[in-house]
Amino acid sequence: MARSWASVDWYDHPRWYDAIYAPGTRREADFLEALVERHGRRGRRRALEPACGSGRLVAELARRGWRVDGFDASAAMLAHARARLARRGLRGRLVEGRLERCPDLGKHELAYCLVSSFKYVQSEAQALAHLRAIARGLVPGGLYVLGIDLAEYDSSRLWVERWSGRSGRARVALEVVGRPPDRRTRSETMRSRVWVRGLGPVLRHESNWTFRTWDHAELVRLLARAREFEHVATHAYDHDAARPIPFDGAQLDNVLVLRRRGRGAARISAP
C-alpha cells in the first residue's frame, strides 16, 4: 500500500527540526566565538540571528553570556524559541521579521545565519538589501557569519542527504532530496520528508522548497556590491575555526566571514 504523506511546513514543527539540528549547536557556538576572537571585535557581546528558527543557537549563546536578538518569519519557530529561553531562564529578544526587510534591532558585534537560510531570499536586489541591513545592525569591525551552499549549474544529479535524531521518545528521520539547480531561473527545488516514530502511528511529513541559487561567480559579484563588508575568511560546514578554506568555488559548502567596514574596524587584529 502506498504511504501517504501529509504536506506540511517543516517550520510548523520545531520539535522535529530540533531533533535533527540541535546536536550540532555547541560546536557551531564554539565556532562563532572563535571567529569573533580571531577576526572580530572583542568587548561587548551582542549577537543577532536572522532567521533564528527554533532558537537553538540563540539559547546557547545567551547561556554563554551573549545578549542575543533574533527574528524569523515563522510564528511557530519563534514561539518554540521563546519557550526554550523561558524554560532555561535565559533572555533574548525575538521578533517576527523577514530576511528581505530585516527589522532594526540595534547594534551588534556578531550576526550569523549558518544553515543556508540566506537562499530563501529570492532576488539579487533583496539579497543586497539584506546584507546592507545586517551591516547597519553591526558595529564597525562586527562580523556577519553567513553559511551558504553554492550551486553547481552543470550538475544533473539529484542529491540526497539523510539525518536522524531523537526528541524524548520520538525517533526522527529526515531525508532531503535536491533537484539540480536551474541557471536560467536561478532556483533549485528541494523536498524534505520527515518520519517520526515511537509516538504511536508513524508521522510522515513532506515539505517542498524553492531556493535562490548562487554559484561562486554570482556570490563574488554580490559581495563586491556589498561594500559595507570585507570578506576576511571562509570556512566549511564542518565549523572548524582553525581550518579556513580558499574561497574559489571548489567547495560547495561555504561559511563566509564578513567584517563590517567603518571607523574603528581597522584597529581589530586578525592574526
Ligand X SMILES: C[S@@+](CC[C@H](N)C(=O)[O-])C[C@H]1O[C@@H](n2cnc3c(N)ncnc32)[C@H](O)[C@@H]1O
32 lies in the site for ligand X, by CB under 6 A: no
Q: Interface with ligand X includes 94 (CB under 6 A)?
A: no
* Contacting residue, 20, 35, 85, 99, with ligand X by CB under 6 A: 99
Cα-Cα-Cα-Cα dihedral of 134, 137, 142, 143, to 10°? Answer: -20
According to the binding rule CB under 6 A, does residue 207 interact with ligand X?
no
Cβ distance to ligand X smaller for residue 95 or 217: 95
Figure out which of the listed residues 29, 35, 74, 94 binds ligand X, where binding follows CB under 6 A. Answer: 74
* Nearest approach, Cβ of residue 114 and ligand X (Å): 5
In the set 12, 15, 45, 73, which binds ligand X (CB under 6 A)?
Answer: 73
End-to-end CA distance of the chain: 61
Nearest to 216 by CA among 253, 248, 184, 185: 248
Q: 72 pairs with which residues across the strands? A: 96
What is the dihedral sign for C-alpha 103, 105, 108, 111?
negative
- Number of residues engaging ligand X in binding (CB under 6 A): 20
Cα–Cα distance for residue pair 117/137, rounded to 1 Å: 18
Q: Which is nearer to ligand X, 14 or 181 (CB)?
A: 14
Which of 82, 98, 191, 261 forms a contact with ligand X (CB under 6 A)?
A: 98
Residue 229 binds to ligand X (criterion: CB under 6 A): no
Stretch touching ligand X by CB under 6 A, among 69-77, 82-90, 131-139, 250-258: 69-77
* 211 binds ligand X per the rule CB under 6 A: no
Among 72, 109, 149, 218, binds ligand X (CB under 6 A): 72
Residue number, 140 or 241, with CB nearest to ligand X: 241
Q: Which of 21, 66, 214, 229 binds ligand X (CB under 6 A)?
A: 21
The residue within the footprint of ligand X, chosen from 57, 127, 139, 148 (CB under 6 A), is 57
Q: Out of 114, 127, 255, 257, name the contact with ligand X by CB under 6 A.
A: 114
User: CB-wise, 140 or 211, nearer to ligand X?
Assistant: 211
> How far apart are CB 14 and ligand X at their closest, in Å?
8
Q: Which residues bind ligand X (CB under 6 A)?
A: 11, 21, 49, 51-54, 56-57, 72-74, 77, 98-100, 114-115, 117, 120
